[in-house]
Structure 1
């Protein structure tokens, strides 16, 4: 009987360790809180966004989710830019992938970690997977050369 309990305990321990090894990062990403919004950024608000769009205001939009590894890397890159005093000088808005479904549907977005450019009242471009300071800088500089 004691041998059977020890085998069961060992089996459970090994199983738990395997689950953590295989899925630990996914579990963490799904349980971690949202990254704090960066200085100068704002959370998406439909009415404000539409008013700015109608006024032709240039905007950089990030489609974000706390469980997204790409979003985490993008956030870290934007933090580096902020710390270096090189944050984009353009209206920056963070859209919550899970909450702002109407926005996603309007722009046919199926992925997180997407940066979008709006100028002169139009949706101009998007970039996905931009996770380094250099790639983000290149993207922003291309569409907002004065930013």
Structure 2
């Protein structure tokens, strides 16, 4: 028995609705832009800056941990700004970072935690938690 187009449309609409609901409970991950970062800080938002490089094995190990935490409802208000270590050297310097695989937590303009090279889910989660209001 072949499903009708109405049933397929209903299934597609349900999937889209579910995807929208999940994203409403997820942290936002976006490329670092100074204006957006400054606005989030001024608004007092919880922020994590992820300084990453495509060639970095530690960054690759951090990525699934960050993605999992971002999708958890615990951090739905968090914004994660990704800084490209190779192409955004000015931002890396301005943030006082020396290497890729650096994670920096903020609550508004206040730095709450910093780690370099950490690939332990529990301690990365603790850094995320430090940003909570």
After TM superposition, the score normalised by the length of structure 1 is 0.61
Paired position in structure 2 for 1:117: 105
How many residue pairs get aligned? The number is 107
Paired position in structure 2 for 1:64: 52
1:43 deviates by 0.6
Q: CA RMSD in A?
A: 2.4
Secondary structure at the aligned position of 2:75 is classed as coil
Gaps of at least 5 residues in structure 1 are 1-37
Structure 1 stretches of at least 4 aligned residues deviating more than 6 Å after TM superposition = none
Paired position in structure 2 for 1:144: 131
Q: Tell me if the contact between 1:60 and 1:117 (Cα under 8 Å) persists in the aligned partners.
A: yes
Larger Rg belongs to? 1
Q: Tell me if the contact between 2:40 and 2:108 (Cα under 8 Å) persists in the aligned partners.
A: no
CA spacing shift, 1:76–1:120, aligned 2, 3 Å: closer
After TM superposition, the score normalised by the length of structure 2 is 0.67
Q: Tell me if the contact between 2:49 and 2:104 (Cα under 8 Å) persists in the aligned partners.
A: yes
